[in-house]
Structure formats: structure tokens, C-alpha cells
Amino acid sequence: MKKVFHFGSPQEWYQADAAIVWCFDSRFELAFRKFLKRHGIVNFDAIRVGGGAKSIASPDQESDREFVLGEIRKSIQLHATTRLILVSHSDCGAYGRLHGGFGGDPDAEAKHHEQELRKAATVIAERLPGITVQSYFVDFEGIWEVDSEAAQNAGS
């Protein structure tokens, strides 16, 4: 092998501040990383799949959900994760995009994502009890928190 780039990384084991299930669409990444940092989330396990939390709420195949749940379990086992952050975003291709799937209606899109995030939180509460779930919808103007507490309590 030939070293092509030199850097130093911490070698110490870490406890994850959170595991984050989010989409691989990078348009919102900079803003969301700033949001995470502002909220003290520095060490996190990123679980990036097309559609983000959709893979838990309404997966195309059940195996998609099982894969993501397995990754969350690994985060819990390997990095003592106690918090899970679920993310969905505007204009997501997995949902048909804003103009295709929601007819260009941002309110209808946001409402749908809110329902999906609550559904995902309910699945998590049923399948992975004990982990705290926070849910966020990201659009082109900001980050919106979805109350997942009711869904978590329903799974307890």
C-alpha cells in the first residue's frame, strides 16, 4: 500500500452521543452537522440510507428495516448509545420529491414526514425499548423537531 494522505485520528474508544438515521442526500448535511454540534452531539454513529427514517417507518422491503435496526443495535452494543436521532428531509427522492410526491405542497410534505417520523419512533419503541428517540424534519429553511414522546410511550 501507498499512503496518499496523512492525518491523526483519536484512537480512544468513544461512547456515542447518538446514533443518527439520516438520508445520504448531502444538501442538508452542513446545516444538520452544525445543529448537532450546537446540541452537544459530537461523537455519533451515522446510519445513512436513502430515505433516512423512511427505512424504519415505511421501508420498501422489510429487510431494509431489519438492516437499519441491526445497525442501531450495533451502535448500542459497540458505543453504548442511548439516544437515537431520526431524520427525514424535504424533496427526498425516496418519497417522490416535493413536486412529484406532494404536488409541490410543502405543508402536505411536512405533515407526511411528521407522520412518518412518529411511525418510525413507534417501531423503535417496540423493537428497541429503552433508547431515547428524537425526530427531526429538515427543509430548505430550517430544522423542525417532531414530538416522538407519545410514540415512545405507546411502545413502552
Q: Using alpha carbons, select from 79, 72, 77, 81 the residue that is nearest to residue 124.
A: 72
Domain residue ranges in the chain: 18-155
Place domain 18-155 in its CATH homologous superfamily: Carbonic anhydrase (3.40.1050.10)
Nearest of 105, 122, 2 to residue 53 by alpha carbon: 122
Write out pLDDT tens, residues 49-89.
999 999 999 999 999 999 999 999 999 999 999 999 999 99
pLDDT of residue 12: 85
CB 45, CB 81: distance < 8 Å: yes
Determine the Cα–Cα distance for residues 103 and 8; give it in Å rounded to an integer.
48
If you search the block for the grid coordinates 406532494, which residue do you land on? 102
Residue type at 51? Answer: G
Confirm if 18 and 76 have CB atoms less than 8 A apart: no
Write the single-letter amino acid at 73. R
Chain segment 83-132, per-residue pLDDT in tens: 999 999 999 999 999 999 899 999 999 999 999 999 999 999 999 999 99
pTM recorded for the entire structure: 0.90
Closest Cα to residue 133, out of 123, 142, 26?
Answer: 123
* Whole-number average pLDDT of the chain: 93
